[in-house]
A = this chain, B = another copy of it.
Amino acid sequence: MKGRHVGGVGEFKLIRRLADIIGKPRGSRIVRAIGDDAAVYRTAPGRVHVVSTDAFADQYHFDARFYSWVDVGGKAMAASISDIAAMNAVPRYATVALALPPKFLVADAERIYEGLRLCAEQQDVDIIGGDTTRSDRVTLSITIIGEAAEQDVVYRDGGLPGDLLCVTGPLGAADIGLQLLRFEAESQSPPMAGLDEAIVRQAKDRHLRPMPRTDMVNRWKKAGVKPHALIDISDGLTAEVHHICRASGCGAAIDLAAVPVARAVRMLESDPARAMEFALSCGDEYELLFAAPAEDCARMDACLFTVIGRLTADAGAVFLRREEGDEVALGPGGHDHFAGP
């Protein structure tokens, strides 16, 4: 690794190397440190707080050509809150570090904050602190603190062979929305003629204004269900299935026909193979992926999620079962913020 650039090793490997330097936490009330969507520490007997920090930079996480500044703030907050939902915890507090170029307009900084506030309010989160600094590039770092009963927290490593693998929401629309937004920005023209305007708007909204699935935390509670493993699919479904499998020491078999492809994808992408590719690898979509026993899944409203396959005992092996009946190995793929814009 000597002389290697961070751009050459990839984000996940870099994070692992940095986590190695930190080593094991020493505080006796830390339940879980680096390695999941958020860290967990005890605040009182049986009660924990869950904390996560995320960074968002212009051009890497959003594109100022087609994001309004309100959308930038809203999406950064939504993505950050999603990490807390992905632990089955309730988000409560946020702090924001905002780095801005000196020539950035005060009015636009205020718009970023309006977006932050709108999303936070919607999710019942209070922004309680922050800092501003100078930078060449608009960058936000958001820390969210959530809370839960210690026994309710779900990690990515609790999956068991035989668990059903489930996702919320239809998938893929955020990436097709991004492609439409990019096309419009680059061609300086409205999208291709003949496209359904409502569908186009829906796909764009899905990319620009995602909603974290904090509602699922309540729904699981009401149904008396605690998933075995849980993660958000911000890096794309395939990558996140691998994350659960690696952490849980399982494999997975996914039924291609079961993967819920968003209507916008089916309408805007006529090639079914490419449409499926959107659904499998779409990043920046803040749905939840969870593993739970069939009897638990049966106790929940079936409209809330889709069973896409199951965990297997074959550690690390992720297979896609195609309609033809054959199986293909599915690599991790996923998004890497150092790999290029």
Q: Which residues of A approach B to under 8 Å, CB–CB?
A: 1-9, 11, 14-15, 17-18, 21-23, 25-27, 30, 33-34, 38-39, 41, 43-44, 47, 49, 51-57, 60-61, 92-93, 95-107, 109-110, 113-114, 116-117, 124, 126-137, 139, 141, 143, 145, 337-338
Contact = CB atoms under 8 A, between A and B. Distances in A.
A131 B14 CA distance: 10
Given A25-B126, A34-B129, A39-B128, A5 B52 contact: no
B97 A141 contact: yes
A-B complex: 8 closest residue pairs judged by Cβ atoms:
A7-B102, A141-B141, A39-B128, A97-B141, A53-B95, A43-B43, A55-B133, A55-B97
B133 A57 contact: yes
B52 A134 contact: no
28 contacts: A3-B105, A5-B105, A6-B104, A6-B105, A6-B106, A6-B132, A7-B104, A8-B106, A14-B109, A15-B131, A17-B109, A17-B110, A25-B127, A26-B124, A27-B92, A27-B126, A34-B129, A39-B129, A41-B92, A41-B128, A43-B43, A44-B47, A53-B131, A55-B133, A99-B139, A135-B139, A136-B137, A145-B145
